[in-house]
Structure 1
Amino acid sequence: MEDAELEKIRKARLDQLKAQGGGGPGKAGGPAGAGGQDQAQRQQAEAEARQSILNQILQPEAADRLGRIRLVKEQRATDVENRLIMLAQSGQLRSKVTEEQLKELLNAVAETKEEEKIVVSRRKGWADDDDDDLFDL
């Protein structure tokens, strides 16, 4: 049963990638309304498949915590969900994820986000405000 749902997600993702690549209906010559409706249906099916997988791999407490995180930081929740689904698809999850394991994963995602920060340091140029006093006579 789990393999069928994973296959359904893969198929939905493949369809989505084909549509983005320009080969899907509605891109060239098809009615725009029908293409938008197909895309909305695909997104709905993908969301349902993701939720189904998450329900299978998360304990209820962990699912509740992830839902609360989604209310505050949607992107972080999506990143954690993607990582959980990837772990499940690769067979690295042996049991349902507990709330403590979810906290550890959240901390890991937060640490990687902190590492990605970019610090811009500007060098002083020849015409800085600090040098204005040199021209006063």
Structure 2
Amino acid sequence: MLGAALIEAWDLHTAIHVNRGFPWKKRGRLKLAPYLTAAAIRLLVSAALTGVYAASGQLAGVLSAVTVGVAAPKILQSIARRSLGRPAGEIPAQASPPGEGTAASSGGPVPSYLPADSSQPATTSEGPQVDAR
């Protein structure tokens, strides 16, 4: 919840700066109630998503919990876009069919620094990587 509260505070700071005062006090702008409602919804959604990540063992500590709280709206947008963007049961184009590109088909675990296509050299932003086996 701290992550969402930090984002709400930053958004309020930005709105006050842009409007040179509280936006809800400006003529033609929304009143205070819609701002408070939106902030409360964001806090609840962020707390719920952080709770789900924590319950599933995905959070390593406090910093990761704050990060999920900050990123909750974008995480949910991404999930919604991916789940609503294609019919149910459709496999994404980048997904490999079962058994291809997995440890089972390659004879063992594939290190994360190796590309999915073993005919291409592995690279990172720091240049080519050499397998030191």
TM-score (norm 2): 0.29
Structure with a larger share of its residues in helix: 1
Max Rg structure: 1
TM-score (norm 1): 0.29
